[in-house]
Amino acid sequence: MCTHQPSCPTADRPDREAARVVASHPEQGWSRLCNGTILFDDTGELLPGGEIVAPHRPTLTLIPSQPGGPMSATSHAKRIVSAAA
């Protein structure tokens, strides 16, 4: 199915999401990948054989605000708000 070089991962491989997008429909919330996988904006997938893969959002990782010090959720939120302003 794939004509890219190097070839895109097939739909049965764990890294299938690394395949190239061949049809994008952001207004509808989905894209079709070269390997036939339909990838939804919520990270769910529909594989070519009809198998459904549940959404699998990555977990949030907090970065320390100072070298060696933990960052609280409050300070992280303040940083996001101040960066957006």
pLDDT tens, 42-59? 999 999 999 999 998 776
The pLDDT value recorded for residue 57 is: 75
CA neighbor of 43 nearest in space, from 57, 30, 29: 57
Distance CA 36, CA 45 (A): 10
**What's the CA dihedral at 6, 12, 18, 21 to 10 degrees?**
90
The pLDDT value recorded for residue 5 is: 86
The pLDDT value recorded for residue 17 is: 92
pTM equals: 0.63
Q: Output the CA angle 16-11-47, nearest 5 degrees.
A: 110
The pLDDT value recorded for residue 81 is: 47
Residues in the chain with pLDDT values less than 70: 1, 59-85
Single-letter amino acid code for the residue at 50: G
Farthest-apart Cα atoms in the chain, separation: 49
